[in-house]
């Protein structure tokens, strides 16, 4: 399912939209209907171009090998995934713009879909030629606070021969979507429902992967952790 989110602009440092909120969020109704949605032209061109140049300009020490699992179960396994990541922080101006945008989206999704999304975390991902991420789930039912996964693509002029496609699978392992990582495309899906993978990239590929989360804190443990 392809959707287009138009008329976004920034006013006084905050993301706004030139159309009514209800019309804007109607584009996300597929989340309630089928559990995932693809949205093209998510950000103004200048903003996504700035994010791409920022990611491409990061020095080597600013990237870390990505792992699998969280907290005590976090390990590196290059047979499963071989991308590199950099977590985004609101203290970094270039990163704060995207974080603010996604927090605005969080509030509006809660208002329309009553999802109880508490916060959002994300990281830049760099897939160098030959990098991949095998089939996996981002969350397991009842064992994670991740509710929605988001993937936002940064590379301009991406071609089919460049690889790096996101494959989203259904309950019977059928392919639901094959998403070419074209600049300014946002993919959103239920974290505990859709197995997915990233095919081998044949050129350097940048994206931002993130999660809208529930708050699972209690008296003995602060959650969500990173």
Domain chopping of the chain, boundaries: 2-213
pTM of the model: 0.85
pLDDT in tens, 81-129: 899 999 999 999 999 999 999 998 998 899 888 899 999 999 999 999 9
Using a pLDDT cut of 70, give the percent of the chain over it.
Answer: 80
Residue 3 has pLDDT above 50, yes or no: no
Residue 19 has pLDDT above 70, yes or no: no
* Domain 2-213 belongs in CATH node 2.60.40.420: no
Q: Sorting pLDDT into bands at 50, 70 and 90, what band is 143?
A: low
Q: How far from the centroid of its chain's Cα atoms is residue 39's Cα?
A: 12
Q: What backbone phi and psi angles, to 5 degrees, belong to 212? A: -85, 135
Distance CA 59, CA 34 (A): 39
Distance CA 92, CA 30 (A): 33
Beta bridge partners of 145: none
Write the CB contacts of 198 (distance below 8 Å, at least 6 apart in sequence): 81, 83, 127, 132, 133, 164, 165, 166, 167
Residue 215 has pLDDT above 90, yes or no: no
């Amino acid at each position: 399912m392809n959707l287009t989110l138009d008329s976004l602009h920034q006013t006084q440092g905050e993301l706004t939209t030139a159309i009514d909120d209800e019309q804007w969020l109607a584009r996300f109704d597929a989340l309630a209907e089928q559990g995932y949605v693809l949205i093209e032209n998510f950000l103004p061109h200048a903003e996504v171009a700035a994010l791409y140049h920022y990611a491409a300009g990061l020095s080597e020490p600013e990237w870390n090998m990505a792992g699998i699992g969280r907290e005590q179960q976090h390990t590196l396994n290059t047979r499963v995934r071989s991308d590199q990541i950099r977590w985004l922080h609101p203290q970094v101006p270039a990163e704060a713009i995207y974080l603010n945008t996604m927090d605005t989206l969080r509030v509006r999704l809660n208002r329309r879909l009553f999802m109880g999304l508490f916060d959002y975390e994300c990281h830049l991902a760099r897939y160098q030629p030959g990098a991949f991420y095998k089939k996996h789930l981002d969350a397991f039912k009842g064992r994670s606070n991740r509710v929605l996964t988001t993937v936002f693509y940064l590379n301009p002029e991406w071609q089919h021969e460049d690889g790096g496609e996101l494959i989203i699978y259904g309950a019977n392992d059928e392919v639901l979507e094959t998403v070419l990582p074209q600049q300014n495309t946002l993919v959103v899906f239920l974290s505990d429902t859709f197995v997915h993978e990233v095919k081998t990239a044949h050129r350097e590929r940048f994206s931002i992967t993130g999660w809208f989360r529930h708050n699972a804190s209690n008296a003995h443990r602060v959650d969500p952790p990173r």
